[in-house]
Amino acid sequence: MTEKIFEEAIEAILKGDADKAVEVAKRGIGEGLEPLDLMDKGFIPGINKVGDLFETGRLFLPALIYSATAMEKATAIINAAIPAEKGLVSGKILIGTVEGDVHDIGKTIVVALFKANGFEILDLGRDVPTVRFIDEAEKFGADIIGTSTLLTTTMVVQKELEQELKKSGLRDKYKTIVGGAPVTQRWADRIGADAYAQDAGDGVKKVKELLSNK
């Protein structure tokens, strides 16, 4: 039963069928599935398959866009259903996808889970210039600046943020966390970020650690 709904989610994303993706997301939540389970075992494997087909030239940009739209709509339903956690920790997190990159599906899942854990979030969206991360962090009074990137070509912008923070004498004022499919712990260490998270759940764990060491 549960396996079937995961398969339906995968298929809806592969077909780029937004109506079906929305219907499956609503049905799954309605049947009491854990929102993040439905995401991790259904919709994410679906969009990953789409990415693989795109990379190997078996699926083209228009189809990728249909699948992405279906994924965005399903993600909005799932994010809204993530339950608030108990034992909340306080902290202000500024987050966005770096300049040059419009991928934001994963980042919005991270934002939803951060919110569910009681953090105060300012989401700057996608394609965010480095200088804006810093200006907004100052205005918001952020504790943590989080950046997401999905393109190997824009990973360097995460490094640019570290450099700009240092240049402006603000590096010690904030903790930084980096994420996104091509990002690794090794990359985080190399650029001097304070933390790396591989998914939304890991992100919550890492920001809690960062805040307790602040």
Binding site for ligand B1M (CB under 6 A): 44, 47-48, 50-51, 54-55, 61, 64-65, 68, 71-72, 95, 100-107, 109-110, 146-148, 150-153, 177, 179-181, 197, 199-200, 203
Q: Provide the token pair at 154.
A: 């824009």
Taking the least distance from each CB to ligand B1M, the nearer of 1 and 105 is 105
Taking the least distance from each CB to ligand B1M, the nearer of 54 and 140 is 54
Taking the least distance from each CB to ligand B1M, the nearer of 51 and 129 is 51
Residue nearest to ligand B1M (CB): 106
Taking the least distance from each CB to ligand B1M, the nearer of 1 and 211 is 211
Least Å distance, CB 23 to ligand B1M, is 20
Q: What is the DSSP letter of 202?
A: H
> The sheet that has 175-179: what strands, in order across it?
120-123, 92-97, 144-148, 175-179, 195-196
Least Å distance, CB 17 to ligand B1M, is 15
Tokens 């679906």, located at residue: 46
Distance of CA 93 to the CA centre of its chain: 13
Least Å distance, CB 144 to ligand B1M, is 8
Q: Taking phi first (over 0 means left), then psi (-120 to 50 degrees means alpha), and beta for anything else, what does residue 121 get?
A: beta
Least Å distance, CB 21 to ligand B1M, is 13
Taking the least distance from each CB to ligand B1M, the nearer of 1 and 58 is 58
Tokens 């943590």, located at residue: 144
Give the integer Cα–Cα distance in Å for 27 and 39: 13
Q: Provide the token pair at 3.
A: 């396996």
